[in-house]
Amino acid sequence: MGSAADWHAFLDEFRAFGGKAENVMQRKGAFGLGLFPIDPSKPVDLLVPDELLVGIDNIELRDGDVVIKDETGFPEGYPDWFRRYQANYSWGAEGRENTLAFEEELKALPNNVQTLMKRLGLYNADKRFPGKEPEQELLQRFIQTRCINRKERRVIMPMIDLLNHAPAAKPYDMSGEGIAVNGLYDGEVLVKYSVSDPIRRLIAYGFNAPEPVAFSLFFRLQHQDLEVIIQGAGGRQPLQPCKVEMNGGRLVVQQPLLGASKTPKMPRTLFLQACQGIEGVEANELFEQIQQRNTLALVNLLRELQGVESDVASRLRNGCLDQLAALSHQFGKRDDLLQEKLAA
Amino acid sequence: MSEPSPYPSRRWVSLIKEFQSFGGTAINVIQREGEFGLGLFPIDPSKPVELRAPKNLLVPTDNIILKNGNIAIKNDEKFPPGYANWYERFQSDFSWGAEAKHSIQSFEEGLRSLPKDCLLLLEKFGFYVSSDRYPQGKEVDAIFQRFIKTRQINWQGNTYLMPIIELINHSPRRQSWGVSDNGIHIKGQFDGEMLVRYSIADPLIRLIQYGFNCREPMCFSINQKLIHNGRTVLVRGGINYEVLKPFKIEIRKNKYILNNPILSHSLNPKLPRKIFRESLKDYNWIDADELFEEIHMRNNIALIKILKSIHSTHGSVCSQLTNACLDQLEILRHRY
């Protein structure tokens, strides 16, 4: 990270390429390096136009620097600016170091913890960070924490990817000709990266956040006479019924929402809606079964983590507790919505 | 460590002989160290064990005092001659003096040294009242009171300590003591340690009241206040001793008080919701299922708060409390 003068000169270059970065500076905050308003009484305005977004398949490591592979189509000088941006403010500033520390500590978790996480579909060290090409693997992990879907491709958004996440913050504004964040901010400029739950946010990004929703972990279970596979994952639009279908004689439930702190009646309502018309399923009971299995798995993970001393173990304990809290936010159901669906 | 001797010491044999001479029964039993600390074991597991404390040997808790640091009977008029002296030796060598005083003291010290936030949460949710637990006075008196609370039994409207029988440890999967007009008894064959079910509790209440972890099969609520369909509902937390019956509901100043609802039962997971619905069936404005689930939610969140409050704290009581909260979270999910 350079001086304030360097920062401002750097922003001037960004503006020359068509970007916007008004009233912001980078500094250390509660979540590590982040962006802050220079004058909190004035609005912050950040914009990365579509032509400055860099596809993740167009990024590579060259002599330790993160660079654009194919410079075609970018404004002149932009690839060099992007290299310096990564070296001074992103990958080189904290990104590589933090990613490496997190991956190494995850790998160092006791075997029983790793086995449990693998079984629940949360973490598989062999796939995620096998260590055969550590720098490449690190870059891929780094990119996964910074990229976003835009017009059917996954891209990196310079400047805006310096923002930290808060579950209660506004999401990125994707409505215009680029990706934007703007508004008045008392303290750090925060943005909501995506929909996720606490445990998956931690595993994917390396930090704890009290996300307001919980999706299921991966399980197989027996319900009445049916074998049921619960495909756990987060990241989908939460207020839609999950997909439930028979597949090869088994019932497959995809990413059921189990808890939602702002709308605690919705998880069961959506699940009941999703199960309407499926024979052999007692939807209320299946919902309880899935809830129970999730709780027991998280409690089990917490038990295995007892006495494990490391920064990641501590974050994982917090992640499990936050996930249990998110999972708990569920009671009742919306009869009006269920009747509407039945009528439809 | 060497295996404990299966043969009773002379001191134990003599204690049991004297107990029998007063009219008590203690057949085929020895005290030794087990999984739960000192406990009672059969001398010969192929033969039955029998213990009986007749009513004339039960000691009312208000007739017990601390004398020079030892437990003694205050007024021995109603007991057989020599019994008070025997009782003092029993307490000193096998109960209060053997392990109980020390283990209660170390648990209470651990409890008091928990982070302030944690203690406030335990008080708020109704698990622990520091002013009741540590009244003004000597610390040893507070420990003595806790000793009595963890050993006493309700019998015919009064509370008593049961000589010899009080040495038995607890298991929620075992029978309780046999209680009759003639006293307290236990009889049966035991492969390993003799265990009895002390009382109904949940994992957290068991820990705070008795100082040990146990995966009790049921959970009760914390104290809480919530608004349900526009009306105030107060949940009085804690144990319901008539767990299979509908719980009591009181209405005071437009507040609806639910007394000690059971929330989960690992052996019968459909029972708690059924009892909840049954208890509230006359209140048309209540959506029993929704209220039941909301009470559950608040219990979970309370436990998570307690766990977060001790997240970076170490110590044996902290670890016990963590285990109890995890047990409680797990057992709470045993409901459909």
Q: Which one of B165, B198, B231 terminates a domain?
A: B198
Domain ranges of chain A: 4-90+146-193, 213-343
**pLDDT given for residue B1 in this prediction:** 47
> Percent of chain B having pLDDT more than 90?
92
Statement to judge: residues B161 and B269 lie in one domain: no
Average pLDDT in the B271-278 region? Answer: 98
Residues belonging to chain B with any Cβ–Cβ distance to chain A shorter than 8 Å: 287, 289-290, 293-294, 296-297, 300-301, 304, 307-308, 311-312, 319, 322-323, 326, 329-330, 332-336
Average pLDDT in the A259-271 region? Answer: 97
pLDDT tier at B139, thresholds 50, 70, 90: confident
Q: Is A177 on the interface with B (CB under 8 A)?
A: no
In a domain, B204, yes or no: no
**pLDDT given for residue B4 in this prediction:** 61
Statement to judge: residues B176 and B278 lie in one domain: no
Tens-place pLDDT, residues B149-166: 999 999 999 999 999 999
Number of domains in chain B: 2
Cα–Cα distance for residue pair B280/A274, rounded to 1 Å: 30
Q: How many CB pairs below 8 A link A and B?
A: 60
Closest CA to A205 of A288, A117, A141: A141
Tens-place pLDDT, residues A28-53: 999 999 999 999 999 999 999 999 99
Q: Is the pLDDT of residue B5 over 70?
A: no
Positive or negative, the CA dihedral B195, B197, B203, B205 is: negative
Tens-place pLDDT, residues A8-32: 999 999 999 999 999 999 999 999 9
Statement to judge: residues B186 and B253 lie in one domain: no
A-chain residue closest to B333, CA distance: A292
Contacts within 8 Å (CB) and 24+ apart, B163-166: B163/B19, B163/B24, B163/B53, B163/B57, B163/B58, B163/B59, B163/B87, B163/B90, B164/B16, B164/B19, B164/B24, B164/B26, B164/B29, B164/B40, B164/B51, B164/B53, B164/B90, B165/B51, B165/B53, B166/B95
Interchain contact, A321 vs B304, CB within 8 Å: yes
Q: Which of B294, B311, B335 is closest, CB to CB, to A331?
A: B294
In CATH, what number does A4-90+146-193 get?
A: 2.170.270
Tens-place pLDDT, residues A63-95: 999 999 999 999 999 999 999 999 999 999 989
Interchain contact, A329 vs B333, CB within 8 Å: no
- Interface with chain B: mutation pick from A284, A310, A328, highest number of B CBs within 10 Å: A328
In a domain, B205, yes or no: no
Q: How many residues does chain A have?
A: 344
Interchain contact, B301 vs A333, CB within 8 Å: no
Statement to judge: residues B48 and B187 lie in one domain: yes
Interchain contact, A325 vs B301, CB within 8 Å: yes
Statement to judge: residues B165 and B230 lie in one domain: no
Tens-place pLDDT, residues A313-330: 999 999 999 999 999 999
Average pLDDT in the B217-223 region? Answer: 97
Statement to judge: residues B156 and B304 lie in one domain: no
Contacts within 8 Å (CB) and 24+ apart, A300-303: A300/A116, A301/A113, A301/A116, A301/A117, A301/A120, A302/B307, A302/B326, A303/B323, A303/B326
> Percent of chain A having pLDDT more than 70?
99
In a domain, B95, yes or no: yes
Chain A residues touching residue B219 (CB < 8 angstroms): none
User: What is the pLDDT of chain B when averaged over all its residues?
Assistant: 95
Statement to judge: residues B24 and B164 lie in one domain: yes
DSSP string, A185-244: -SSS-EEB-----HHHHHHHHSS----SEEE---EEEEETTEEEEEE----S-TTSPPEE
Interchain contact, B330 vs A296, CB within 8 Å: yes
Statement to judge: residues B244 and B315 lie in one domain: yes
Cα–Cα distance for residue pair B183/A136, rounded to 1 Å: 77
Interchain contact, B297 vs A299, CB within 8 Å: no
Q: Is the pLDDT of residue A60 over 60?
A: yes
Statement to judge: residues B314 and B243 lie in one domain: yes
Tens-place pLDDT, residues B186-201: 999 999 999 999 999 9
Chain B residues touching residue A271 (CB < 8 angstroms): none
**pLDDT given for residue A236 in this prediction:** 74
Q: Is A309 on the interface with B (CB under 8 A)?
A: no
A-chain residue closest to B326, CA distance: A299
Interchain contact, A328 vs B304, CB within 8 Å: yes
**pLDDT given for residue B135 in this prediction:** 76
Q: Which of B301, B312, B323 is closest, CB to CB, to A328?
A: B301
A-chain residue closest to B325, CA distance: A299
Interchain contact, B326 vs A299, CB within 8 Å: yes
Domain region containing B135: 10-114+130-198
Chain B residues touching residue A306 (CB < 8 angstroms): 319, 322-323
In a domain, B30, yes or no: yes
Q: Is the pLDDT of residue A134 over 80?
A: yes
pTM for this one? 0.93
Tens-place pLDDT, residues B284-334: 999 999 999 999 999 999 999 999 999 989 999 999 999 999 999 999 999
Average pLDDT in the B15-27 region? Answer: 98
B-chain residue closest to A321, CA distance: B304
Tens-place pLDDT, residues B43-83: 999 999 999 999 999 999 999 999 999 999 999 999 999 99
A-chain residue closest to B314, CA distance: A307
pLDDT tier at B129, thresholds 50, 70, 90: confident
Contact A93, A166 (CB under 8 A): no
Q: Which of B287, B290, B330 is closest, CB to CB, to A299?
A: B330
Cα–Cα distance for residue pair B297/B280, rounded to 1 Å: 19
Statement to judge: residues B161 and B87 lie in one domain: yes
In a domain, B18, yes or no: yes
Interchain contact, B289 vs A264, CB within 8 Å: no
Statement to judge: residues B180 and B321 lie in one domain: no
Statement to judge: residues B238 and B178 lie in one domain: no
Contact A196, A88 (CB under 8 A): no
Q: Is A264 on the interface with B (CB under 8 A)?
A: yes
Tens-place pLDDT, residues B226-248: 999 999 999 999 999 999 999 99
